[in-house]
Amino acid sequence: MAEYWVEHLQEKLQNDPTWPVNVTVEFFDVNSSEITASMYTENRIKHKSLPSVTGIIGPEGDLVGQAVGAVAAKYNIPCILAVTNPSSTVVGRPSYFNTSFLICPAAVSQFRTLVDVYVSKKVKTMVAVAKYDSDKYNEHTCFGAAALAATRGIKVLDTISLMDSAVVEEIVGNLRDNLKPDAVIWCDWAACALPDSIQQYNPLPYFKKANYLPKALSMLDCIDQPGVVQFYEEGLFQYVSAGQFVNEKLVGPDYTEDNYPYSSVFRPAAAKGHLTVSYTS
């Protein structure tokens, strides 16, 4: 991204006589260290014998991005952060990102419009299930959506971290027999992308086996994935919806339904009682 801006700014300077700014772009590798990122950024801004810093393109990653964003906010300097999640569960923007533009959305925004639809359809309760992953993408997204839903008046019955494939069937059974939520958001990107994970962790066969669906079932990064085409052919995605990865400040189609006449919260029978599932060949 930084290299692109070097080229872009040089081209503007050379070809546009009205372009008023001659910008120098500097590169520094912080080696994924938030301490290095913070110290270098602050020292560079305060270095008076070098040209003033008027903008920052920050590093990827939550911790290093937060470190740079906090320094940028301190000195009121615009900052672009490519892959930085401002908070996994807090609704709203922390003050240390006051001058940052976040290209990727906060985790709470991943299912933002989906939550709006839930509210409009009078969804009262929900459960979030997330497969544990070292980068926390699943948990941040699902539990962030749950935090957002809670601020909108939806009661979050549970947030479940899925650690082992052996408990997927148990979780589905608990949803059906005990928790009985109106809506379930299930976050496990690998369960629709990687063959082993699809076989071990995808919950749709277990929903079929349990002859159960909640009133609304939404899955992270699963709609239209080629690895689960067999589940499409079996009709298992008939009632699955998804969120979209868009910036928190943008308005657009950040909620999608699959291409069936009725899906998710739009099923006519959804609000009328217990739902069972049948399949025909």
What's the pLDDT at 91? 67
* Residues sharing a CB contact under 8 Å with residue 278, sequence separation 6 or more, in sequence order: none
Q: What residue type is 55 in one-letter code?
A: G
Q: Do residues 264 and 257 lie in contact, with contact meaning Cβ atoms separated by under 8 Å?
A: yes
Q: Do residues 231 and 217 lie in contact, with contact meaning Cβ atoms separated by under 8 Å?
A: no
**Does the predicted model carry a pTM greater than 0.75?**
no
More confident residue, 95 or 201: 201
Q: pLDDT-based confidence at 100, cuts 50/70/90?
A: confident
Domain 2-104 in CATH 3.40.50.12780? The answer is no
What's the pLDDT at 121? 84
Domain 108-271 belongs to what topology? Rossmann fold (3.40.50)
> In the chain, pLDDT over 90 holds for what percent of residues?
37
* Residues sharing a CB contact under 8 Å with residue 18, sequence separation 6 or more, in sequence order: none
What's the pLDDT at 265? 40
With tokens 């990102």, the residue in question is 97
DSSP 194: S
Mean pLDDT over each residue of the chain, to the nearest integer = 81
Average pLDDT on 259-272 reads: 39
Coil/strand/helix, residue 68: helix
Average pLDDT on 134-143 reads: 84
DSSP 102: E
What's the pLDDT at 240? 85
What's the pLDDT at 1? 67
What's the pLDDT at 84? 67
More confident residue, 242 or 177: 177
For residue range 67-96, list pLDDT tens digits in order. 999 999 999 999 988 766 666 666 667 788
User: Nearest to residue 153, comparing CAs of 187, 184, 116?
Assistant: 116
Q: Do residues 260 and 232 lie in contact, with contact meaning Cβ atoms separated by under 8 Å?
A: no
Compute the residue count for the chain: 281
Coil/strand/helix, residue 131: strand
Q: pLDDT-based confidence at 270, cuts 50/70/90?
A: very low
Q: Does the pLDDT value for residue 180 go beyond 90?
A: yes
Coil/strand/helix, residue 189: helix
In the chain, list all ranges with CATH 3.40.50.2300: 2-104, 108-271
For residue range 105-133, list pLDDT tens digits in order. 666 677 877 888 888 888 999 999 999 98
- Six token digits for residue 139: 């948990």
Q: Mutual orientation of helices 62-74 and 34-46 as an angle, nearest 10°?
A: 20
